[in-house]
Structure 1
Amino acid sequence: MPLIRKLLLAALLSSGLVCLAHADTGFPQDKSDLKADPAVTWGTLDNGVRYAIMPNAEPKGRASLRLLVKAGSLNETDDQQGLAHFLEHMAFKGSTHYKPGTLVNYFQRLGMGMGSDANANTGMDRTVYQLELPDTKPHTLQEGLQVFADFSGGLLLQPDQIDSERGVILSEKRARDSVAFRSYKAEVGFLLPGSLPAARMPIGLDDVIQQSRRDRFVDLYNTWYQPDRITVVAVGDLNVKQTVALIQKEFGELAPRAPARPYPDLKIPTAIPGTEFGYHYEADAPNTSISIQTLQPFPGQDSSGIRLSDQTLQLALDMLSRRLDILAHKENSPLNGSYAGVYDMFQQVRIGTIGASAKPEQWQAALALVDQQLRSALDHGFTAQELQVAVANLRTDLDQSVSSAATRRSDRLAGAITDALNDGNVYTSPAQDKALLGPLLDKVTPEDCVAALRKAWTGGRRVFVSGNAKLADPQAEIKAAWTQSQSVATTSGANDNNLKFPYTDFGPAGKVVSQKRLADLDVTQVTFANGVRLNLKQTPFQANTINVTMRVGAGRLTEPAATKPGLAWLTLLTFKAGGLDKLSIDDLDAALAGKQVGMDFRVSNDAFTFGGSTNRDNLLLQMQLLTAYLTHAGYRPEALTMARKAIVETQAELTHTPEGLLQTRIDSELANHDPRFGIPDEKVLMSRTLDEVKNWLQPQLDKGPLEVSIVGDIDIDKTIAAVAQTLGTLPDRETKPDYANQRIVNFPDKGLSQRFTVPTEINRGLVYIVWPATDGRDIHLARRFNLLAEVFKNRLWDTIRTQMGSSYSPEAFAQLSETFTGYGMVGVLITVEPEQADKVTAAVKKIAADMQAHGVTDDELERARAPILTGIRDSERTNGYWLGTVLNGSQEIPARLEWARSRASDYQSITKADLDSLARHYLVKDRNFSFTVVPDHKITSK
C-alpha cells in the first residue's frame, strides 16, 4: 500500500489531496513494475472509457458500482467555482432516461436508500458517484450502469432544476462551514500561496452558486466529462463477461461533446526555503493547533521501490507518533493530541507534517515539544526496541489483511479500487502487499528508518498556529517561540520498554452449568457456575475475525447523577485511559504490540459495555485483556489529566455550536431536567474525581451481572474454554435488579417552543422538533415508528430540500429507549440558514399535521419500506448485526432473539393503516417540543 498519510481534515472535506494526472486511457500498472490484483478485470472501451470489475461474495447477491470522473474543482474556471460540485447534484435532477424528480423515487422503490445506497462526492481532482445495488439481476445491473451513462453524457441541466437546487447547495455549504474548515483553508493558503488548490475549495463561492446560468454548467460538463476521463468500477456478486457487455452497451457510444481544454497549471511549489510563520485566529475553536510542515518533490510513480521506501518512512512516522502519544499522556504535558505524517499532493509534491493541539496559553510549549521531538528523531534516530514494536504492528496488519481478504465487503473494495485509480496507484491484493513488504520487515534497521525520515524532512519549514490563541503580533510571537525552541539542544527521545502482558492466570477455569443451542438462529448460549452468561455464533462473514462485546452491571441506571452530576462522562473519559495496575495505557500498547486485540469501553444506559476485535490466534489474549480491565483497572492519575484536557476542548466546542446546545441543554429539557440527560458544564465535570469513578464503577465490575457475546470465525468449544479460563474464574455475579424507579423518565407536562442563541461566527442554525412516543420494548410497535420516521424523512426531503431549497439534509428519526419506561420520540433535526428557521419550523409542523390528518400514501409506504428490507437482508450477513442487535444482552432480554426471528416478516406486514394510526395518535399539534438554535449575531424576529 503506497504511503498516503493524509490529514484528517483533508479527508473530511473531500478536498482530494492526492494525485492528479492528465487524461490517460491506460492504468497505473501499465507504467509500473507492480502487478495489479489478478482478481480484477481491467479494460478500456474504444472511446477511452475504462472499467475495473471484481467478483466478490460479500454481501451476497449485491453489487457496488462507482463512476470515477477525473474532474473536480481544479478544472473550473474563475467564474465556475463550485459548479463541479453543483454538477454532482444536478446528476440526480434529470437526465436522458430519468425525468426530473423521478430518479430518487425510482431508487427507493428498487430498495435503495438515498445517502446510504446512492450518493456522490466531489473533490479538487475528481467526482465519484456510487450506487449500492440491492441485487445483481441483469435488469438491475443494466439500470445502474444506465444511470452512470446518463451521468457521464446525458444530463439535462434544465434551468428550473438548476434554480431549485441553488438553495440546497448553499445549505450544504452552510452545513459544512466550521472552525475546522476555515482553519484548514487558511493553512492551505499559507502552505501553498498562489496555488490553484488554495483557491479552489470544492464547495465554491456564493455568487457563482447563486448566479451561474446554464451555459456555465454545460461548458464545464461537456469539457471535462469526457470518455477518457471516466472509469466504471463494479464489485460484487456478478458475472464479469456479462458486466463487460453491459458496460459496452451503456458506455460504448459515449463521445466527446466539446474540444479538450488545456489542463490548468496548479502552481504548486515543490520546495520551500528557510522558515516562514503563519497564523489564523478562530474565536470559536476548541483549542489551538500548531503544525510544522515541509515540502519535497513528488517521489515518482507507484512502483515496488517507492512502496518499500515509503514503508520504511512509515515505520519512522509510527515510532515518532508513538513518542508524541506518550508525551501527551504525561502529567502537565502541553499536548492535547498530536500527529506526524507525510502525504502526496496531485503527483507534484510530498508534504511532511507534524503537529499538535493545546490549550491557547500553552501553544508555545506545544510548539517547542513537537519541534524538539522531530529534531530528536532526526538527530538521534530510533532504537531497536522502538522499531520492534512498529514492525510487529505492521506485520500483524499484513497478516490479518491476508487472512480476512476472502470476505472483504464489496463497497469497501469498490472504494479502494476507485481511490487507487484516482491516485495513480496500482491496486494490489493483500497477498501481494505482504509478499512485497514482508521481507522488508525482516531486515529493516533503525538506521534505515531515520535515513528515510531525514530525506522527507530536508528543506525549509512552514510553522502555522491556528485556533483560539489570540496573538497581538503573530509573526513576531511565533518566530520568537520557534527561535527559543531551536536554541534547545536535542537528546534521544527513545522509549524502550521491553514489556510483557502479565495478566494470564486468573485461577481455576470456571465450570459450565448449562449449554444450549438455538438451531434456527445457530446460536449457542452458555451459563457458567459463577453466573457469567455467554452467547456465541459462528459466522463466515469475515474470515479470521472475531468480535466481542461484554455487558457488566447496570450503567447509568445506577449513576448518582443528582449528587455527582457528570460522573458517567468522567468515567467514560478515564477508565480505558487509566490502563491497568501494572501497565499504563502506553505500556499496554508496547506489551500487546503485534497482537490482534483491542478494548473499547462505554457507559451505556443499562450497562457498562466493553468491546474488542481479535482473531483465532489471539482470542484467549483478548479475553485476558477484558478480564484484566475488570480485575486490575489502573485508575491512573494521567487518565484524569487527559480527561480534563478533553473536557476543556469539548466544552469549548459545545458552547459555540447549535449541536452543542442540543447535547448540553435541550436533551435535559426533554427529559424534564433529569440529571442523567445532557452534558453538564465544565465546572461540574471538573469537580468529579477518580475516586468517585472507582467507587461507582469497581463494585459493579467486581460483582455485577456479566454477559458476554462473541461472534465471528470461531470454534465454539475453544471459545467456551477461553471464556472459562478468564471470565469464568471471577467471583459469583449478582442478579440484576429491575431498577423500576430508575427507569422512569418523563417528558415535561406540556409541549413547548423555545428559541436559543449560541455565541458563534458560523452562520448556521438548527431546527429540532420532537413528538413524545413510547419506549422500544414493544418491537412490533417500534418497527412501525421506524417506518413512519422514514416516510417523514422523505416528505422533509420533498418539501424542505427539493421545493424550498432550505436544507441540504433534513433528518427525521424515531428514537425509542429500551431502558427508560415509556420514553421515546419521533423527531426532526434540520440545519438551516438562521433567517429561515421559523419558515422551516412552520413547514415541518405543516407536514406533521397533514400526516396526522390524512395519514401516508401507499407509495410513501413502499418507498420507505423497500430500502429497509434491503438493509435487513444485508445486515444478516454481518457480524455487527448479530453481535450488537441480536446476541448482546439476549439472556438478560430473551425477547431479542424473537426480534431477530420476526424482523423481515414483521416489516413486510406493516400496512398503511398501521402508520396512519401512529401518525394520528402521536403527531399531535399541541404535543410537540420545538427548539430553534441560531447564532447570537444572527438573531431573527419570530
Structure 2
Amino acid sequence: MRFNFKITIAALAVFVASTGALAQVKKKPVPSPKSKPTNKAAQIQTAALPVDKNVTIGKLPNGLTYYIRPNAYPQNRAELYLVVKAGSILETDAQQGLAHFAEHMAFNGTRDFPKTSLVSFLQSSGIKFGADLNASTSFDETVYQLPLPTDSTALFEKGFDILANWAGYVSFDQAELDKERGVVLEELRLRGKNAQERLQNQILPAILNNSRYATRLPKGKEDVIKNFDAATIKSFYQDWYRPNLQAVIAVGDFDPAKVEQLIKQKFSGLKNPATVKPRTEYNVPVTPGTTVKFATDPEFPYTLAEIIVKLPGTKVKTAADYLQSIRVSLFNQMLNARLAELMQKPTPPFLYGNASYGGFIGDQDAFTSVVVARPGELEGALKTLVGETERARQFGFTLTEFERAKQNALIELGNAYKERDKTRSSNFVAEYQQHFLEGQAIPGIAFEYQFYLDNIDKITLAQMNGMAGKFISDQNRAIIVEAPDSEKDKLPAEAALLGWITAAGKGLTPYVDNVSTKPLMEKIPDAGVIAEETKDDSIGVTTLVFQNGIKAILKPTNFKNDQIIITGYGLGGTSLASDMDFTSASLAASVVGGSGISEFNQIQLQKMMTGKNVNISPYISEYTQGFSGNATPADLETALQLIHLYFTEPRKDNDIWQSVLSQTQSVLINRNLDPSSVFQDTVTAVLNRYNFRAMVPTVGRLNTASLDKAFDFYKSSFADPGGFTFTFVGNFDVLSMKAVLATYLGSLPAGNAKKTYKDLNMNPPSGQITKIVNKGIGDKSTVQLVFSGDYEYNEVNNIQLDALEEVLNIKLVERLREQESGVYAPGVRARYMKVPSGHYSITVGFSCAPENVDKLIAATLDEINKIKTNGAQETDIKKFKAEDMRAKQVQLRENYFWAGYLAGGAQNQEDPHRIINYPKTLETVTVQSTKETANKYLSGKNLIKFILMPEKKQAAQ
C-alpha cells in the first residue's frame, strides 16, 4: 500500500496519448468536388474518437462502471482493479491522511476476510503481497490492484469477492486500526523525513498557487493519523467509497461474458449513501505574473531550477485532440534531443536538463523546464536550458529534425501495433483508469497507428515551429530554485534570476543539424565458418560454435512478435586492471559506448539509428565484459553491425571523456550531504573490505584517470572475440539467423588468449561487526543486517536460499509490521554467486524510528531463531512454493527470462535443463530443509549490523 504523489521535486508528469489496442480503421473515401470537405473535416476533427471494440464498458444500476477486456498475455492471468474516484483532495481538516489510511485498512479486515486473512489467503494462492497485491492513494483517486491466475476458477471468482469487499465492506476493526497507525506512520517515515520532503513543503504552495492541492497531500498529517477516531475514517469511507464513484477493471485470459456476470452478481448489492455528498472538482487557480520561490536544505546535494508555466488542461477525446497530442509529443522529442546533444560537450552546461509540455494537476497542463546545475554554475545552466527553448521559439526546428521525430514516433507506434496481440494486460488497465477518471479516449493501438499514418503529413513544420511560443509565458508561471544550505549565499536575488531568464534569449543563432549520410559499414565482412552446431529440442535451443571460437546460443520464441533480446559476455572485466589503472578501466565502457563508433560521433550515430528499433551497449563489469541490447527482427543486422564495430572500430572521443569526468566530479562534490548516500557508501565499503574498487571514486582518483588508458583497456578487453558467448532469444528463424551471425560474429578476428577473471576477494569480512553511521537531521533510522559466508553453488542450495528468503520475508512482515507496528516494508534479499568464487549473503533491511532500532533488531533475530529451532511453518513453505510456481509460469513465456537463464547458465556452467527439473527441485524445500538452511546460513557467525542514526546533538554547554 502506498500513497502516490504525482508531483515530484525535479520533474512533473508528462502527458502521454492513450495507447490501447483495437481494430484498424479504414481510410475514408476521397470526397467528390460537390461535397464540402472543409465542413466534413471539421466534423471529423471534433467528433469523439471511437472506443476500442475489444473492451466492454458497462454501468450497473447503482452507478458502478466496469471495463472488461479479454487478453491472453500473459496466459492464464488476469488483472483485476478497483478504482475509486476519491483521494486526499476530498478529506476534511480532521481527515488529512485518512484516504491513504482507509486504503491500508482494506487489507486489515473486511466483511468476508477478517483481520489479515485476506493477505494470507492470497499468498497461499501464489500472489505476493506488495509486489503483486497492492494499492495506492493519490489526490483524486485510490486504486487497488489484484493480479490473479485464471486457471483456478474458484480463486479467480474469489477475486471479485475481494474487490467487492474493498468497495463497500471494510470493517475498520478498532484493534486493527490502532495497530495500523504505526505502519502508516512508518510508511511516511520511509518515504519522508528527508531533504525531498522538507523542500516539497516549502515549494508546493508556490507551484500549486496555494490551492487545496497544496494542503491535501496524500501522506496527510501525523497528528491526525495518531489521534483520529474510528468514526472519522468511517465517515470518509462511507461518503466516498460508493458505487457511483467506482470502477471495476478486468483484463486478462478469461471469458468476458462470465466476468460480466460475476461483476453484476458481486457488485449490484453495493448501495450509494442515502444522502450523497457532491464530489467537488478542485483546480489550481490561475495566478497572474510569476511566482519565484527559493528553497534550501542542509541535506540536498544538488542545485536545480524549475520553470513551470501552467496552462489550461487538455484531454484527448477527439481527432483534433489526438492530432495535437502528436504535435506535443514531436515537440518534446525534438527539444529534448537538442538538450541531450549538449551533454556531449567536453564541459556540459548542466548535470541534467529537460523541457516538455504535459499534464499537470487540477485540470491544468504545464510546460516544465528542469535543470540540475553543477555547484556554483546555476546561471550558466539555467541560461542554457532557457536558451534552447528560446532558440526553438525564435528559429524553429529543421526539416531533418522533424522527419526524424516523425520516424521515431512511427517506430514506437509500430512496435505497439505489431505486439497488439501480446500486450500485457496491465497496459490496458492503465488506459481504462484514465478513461474512467479523466475521460481520456481509448481508441486503441490499431486506430492510433492508422490515424498516425493517415494524418502525420497534415502536421506541418510551421505548426511545430509555432508551438514553443504557445508554451512560453511569464503569466501563471512558477520559478523554483532548490539548493543545499551551503549554496544559499550564492543564490541570486529574485530580480537577478528573472534577468538571467530574460537574457537567455539574446544573441542566439539557429540550430545546425549535424547528420551523416554514410552507411554504418562501408564493406560487409566475409562470413565466418560454423565449426560446430548442436540442438537441444527439450528446451528449444540451438548452439553454434564458430571457427573463431565465438559461441552463440539461439532460442527462437513466439512470445513477442517483434523482439530479439541480445546478450554477450567474455570473462575478465576490471578484475584484470591493475590498481593504478583501475579508475581508467572502470570508465572505459561508458566512455566508448558514449563516443559513437568508427568515424561517427555519438550524435551522428543516434541520428543514423532513426527509424530503426535497435539498442546495443557495451559494458565492462568486475569479472566480465560484453554487450546487452535488443532489436526487432528487421533491425537485427544493424544490431550485429554495431557489435562488430564495437569489437573492431571503437571510437575514442576526448569530448566525451571530459564530459564524463566533469559530470562525475560534480556529482561527488555534495554527495556527503545525503544521509542515505553516506550510509550506503559505508555499507559498500565494509562489505568489500574497503577495497577502493567497490567504492565511489574520489575526485583524487578521477584525476589519475586518462582517456588513453581507458581506451587501451577497452581494446584489450574486447581484443579476443573468441572467448565470447552470445545469446539470442526472440522471434527469428534459426536457419536465416545462422547466415547473419556468420557474417558479423563469425568474421571477427580471434586470437588464442582465452581470458579469465581474477578473484579480488571482495567479500564481506568474517566475524560479528556493528557499524553505526550518525548522519541526518530527520527522525529516521535505517538498518541492514548482513549474514555471509562461503557457498556451494548448485540447484538445490539455490532453491533453499530462495525459500529461506521468502519465508523470512513473510515472518518479518507479520512480526515487524503487523505485530510490532514498527516498520512499513521490511525486506530480505538472498544473494549467491559462483563467480569469482562461491559466496552468499542474506540481507535484512528496514527503516524505523531511531528509538525502535534495538527492539526491532531483537525481534528480527528472534524470528530467525524460531526458524533455526523449528524450521519454517508448513503454511509459509506452501506460500513460497505457490508464489514461485506462479511466477515461473509467467517467466517461461518471456524473452528476458530466457536470455538471463541461458546466459547466466553458460557463465556459471550450469545444467541447461535445470528449468525442466525445477518442480522436482522445488519439492526439496521442507520444514526440515529450511531449519538446516537457516542454521547453516543464518548462524550469526558472520553477521554485520549496519545502523544509520540521526546525527548526535551536541550536549548543552
The alignment's TM-score, normalised by the length of structure 1, stands at 0.93
Correspondence for 1:907 among 908, 918, 922: 922
For the residue of structure 2 that corresponds to 1:175, the secondary structure is helix
| Distance of aligned partners of 1:463 and 1:416 in 2 relative to their CA distance in 1, 3 Å threshold | same
For residues 675 and 456 of structure 1, do their structure 2 counterparts lie closer, same or farther at Cα, with a shift above 3 Å needed?
Answer: closer
Partner of 1:482: 500
Cα distance change, pair 378–899 in 1 and its aligned pair in 2 (3 A): same
- Deviations 1:257-293 (Å, cap 9, x if unpaired)? 36322334635124x4333322111332232111222
Q: Matched residue of 1:269: which SS?
A: coil
Answer yes or no: is the 8 Å Cα contact 2:346–2:657 preserved in 1: no
Q: Which residue of structure 2 aligns with residue 621 of structure 1? A: 638
Query: Is 1:462 aligned with 2:481?
Result: no
Count of matched residue pairs = 919
The more displaced of 483-492 and 38-47 is: 483-492
Note the C-alpha offset of 1:641. 3.3
Q: CA deviation at 1:784?
A: 0.4
Asked if residue 234 in structure 1 is aligned to residue 250 in structure 2, the reply is: yes
Instruction: Provide the residue aligned with 1:113 in structure 2.
Output: 128
CA distance in 2: counterparts of 1:491 and 1:673, whole angstroms: 51
Of 677, 685, 695 in structure 2, the residue corresponding to residue 660 of structure 1 is: 677
Consecutive unaligned residues of structure 1, counting only runs of 5 or more, are 1-6, 20-28
Does 2:783 align with 1:767? yes
Q: CA offsets per residue over residues 695-724 of structure 1, 9 Å max, x none?
A: 222112121511111111111122222222
Residue of structure 2 equivalent to 1:789: 805
Equivalent residue in structure 2 for 1:427, among 419, 442, 459: 442
Cα distance, 1:474 vs. partner?
Answer: 4.8
Corresponding residue for residue 843 of structure 1 = 859
The one-letter code matched in structure 2 to 1:497 is V
What residue in structure 2 maps to residue 643 of structure 1?
660
User: SS in structure 2 opposite 1:900?
Assistant: coil
Contact 1:757 1:939 in 2 (8 A): no
Counterpart of 2:24? Answer: none
SS at match of 1:617: helix
1:198 is aligned with what amino acid? Answer: A
1:353-392 alignment runs, 5 A limit: 353-392=368-407
Q: State how far apart, in whole Å, the 1-side matches of 2:312 and 2:909 are.
A: 61
Question: Aligned with 2:718: secondary structure?
Answer: helix
Aligned partners of 1:738 and 1:624: how far apart in 2?
26
Distance 1:824 1:650, change over 3 A: farther
Q: In structure 2, what is the Cα distance between the partners aligned to 1:672 and 1:491?
A: 54
Secondary structure at 2:857 match in 1: helix
Alpha-carbon distance between aligned partners in 2 of 1:745 and 1:603, rounded to the nearest angstrom:
17
Q: Give the conservation status (yes or no) of the 8 Å contact 1:323–1:494.
A: no
After superposition, where does 1:501-900 map in structure 2 within 5 Å?
501-503=519-521, 505-560=523-578, 562-567=579-584, 569-571=586-588, 573-648=590-665, 650-651=667-668, 655-704=672-721, 705-732=723-750, 734=752, 736-737=754-755, 739=757, 742=759, 744-758=761-775, 760-775=776-791, 777-885=793-901, 887-900=902-915
Equivalent residue for 2:7, pick from 6, 10, 28: 10
Distance 1:519 1:680 in 2: 48
Match among 156, 159, 162 for residue 144 of structure 1: 159
Counterpart among 79, 103, 106 of residue 64 in structure 1 = 79
Q: Return closer, same or farther for 1:728/1:383 CA change in 2, 3 Å cut-off.
A: same
Tell me, in whole angstroms, the C-alpha distance in 2 between the residues paired with 1:657 and 1:897: 44
Correspondence for 1:86:
101
* Contact 2:785–2:845 (Cα < 8 Å) also in 1: yes
Residue of structure 1 in register with 2:215 after alignment = 199
Tell me, yes or no, if the aligned pair for 1:277 and 1:475 is still in contact at 8 Å. no
Output the CA distance in 1 between the equivalents of 2:310 and 2:716.
54
Q: Distance in 2 between matches of 1:301 and 1:526?
A: 50
Q: Distance in 1 between matches of 2:318 and 2:792?
A: 54
Residue 882 of structure 1 deviates from its aligned partner by: 0.4
The alignment status of 1:210 with 2:207, answered yes or no, reads: no
Whole-angstrom distance in 2 between the partners of 1:809 and 1:224: 28
- Per the alignment, do residues 252 and 546 of structure 1 end up closer, same or farther by CA in structure 2, a change over 3 Å counting? same
Report the CA distance between 1:757 and its aligned residue. 2.0
How far, CA to CA, are the matches of 1:535 and 1:454 in structure 2?
53
The secondary structure found in structure 2 opposite 1:688 is: coil
Q: CA contact under 8 A between 1:186 and 1:280: conserved in structure 2? A: yes
Instruction: String of CA shifts for 1:885-914, please: whole Å, max 9, x gaps.
Output: 2x2154454425133222232113321111
| CA spacing shift, 1:650–1:105, aligned 2, 3 Å | farther
Greater Cα offset, 672-681 or 804-813? 672-681
Q: Could you tell me which amino acid in structure 2 is paired with residue 860 of structure 1?
A: D
Identity of aligned residues (%): 24
Q: 1:879 is aligned with what amino acid? A: N
Kept in 2: contact 1:281–1:466 (CA 8 A): yes
Q: Distance in 1 between matches of 2:283 and 2:740?
A: 59
Contact 2:283 2:362 in 1 (8 A): no
* C-alpha displacement of 1:735: 5.7
Match of 1:322 in 2: 337
Taking a change above 3 Å as real, the CA distance of residues 690 and 772 of structure 1, as seen in their structure-2 partners, is same
Query: What are the superposed Cα offsets for residues 625-654 of structure 1, whole Å, 9 maximum, x if unpaired?
Result: 222222222232233333234424653675
After superposition, give the CA deviation of every residue in 1:80-133 in whole Å (9 maximum; x if it has no partner): 111111111111000011010211111110111111220111111111111111
Q: Is the 8 A contact 1:289 1:363 kept in 2?
A: yes
CA distance in 1, matches of 2:8, 2:886: 29
Q: Deviations over 1:381-416 (max 9, x none)?
A: 111011011111011111111111111122233233
- Is the CA contact (8 Å cut-off) linking 2:57 and 2:67 kept in structure 1? yes
Secondary structure of 2:339 counterpart: helix
SS of aligned partner of 1:905: helix
Distance 2:710 2:309 in 1: 44
C-alpha distance after superposition, 1:401-444 (max 9, x if no partner):
11111111222332333244333211232111111222332342
- CA distance in 2 between counterparts of 1:776 and 1:685 reads 37
Tell whether the 8 Å contact from 2:123 to 2:883 is kept in structure 1 after alignment. Answer: yes
Q: CA deviation at 1:503?
A: 2.7
Letter in 2 for 1:179: A
Q: How many Å separate the matches in 1 of 2:446 and 2:749?
A: 45
> Hey, what's the Cα distance between the residues in 2 that align with 1:798 and 1:348?
41
Using the alignment, how far apart are the partners of 2:280 and 2:165 within structure 1? 27
**Partner amino acid for 1:688?**
A
Deviates more, 1:93-102 or 1:172-181: 172-181
Q: Residue 494 of structure 1: CA displacement?
A: 4.0
Distance 1:412 1:298, change over 3 A: closer
Does structure 1 residue 352 correspond to structure 2 residue 349? no
In the alignment, the residues of structure 2 paired with residue 547 and residue 555 of structure 1 have an alpha-carbon distance, to the nearest angstrom, of 22
2:296 corresponds to? 281
CA contact (8 A) 2:389 2:468 kept: no
Task: Give the superposition deviation at 1:42.
Answer: 1.1
* Amino acid of the structure 1 residue aligned with 2:211: S
1:305 aligns with 2:320: yes
Which residue does the alignment assign to 2:54?
39
Residue aligning to 1:25: none
Aligned counterpart, 1:3:
none
- The residue matched to 1:897 in structure 2 has which SS? coil
The 1:165/1:938 distance shift into structure 2, 3 A limit, reads: farther
Quote the Cα distance in structure 2 between the aligned partners of 1:390 and 1:105: 50
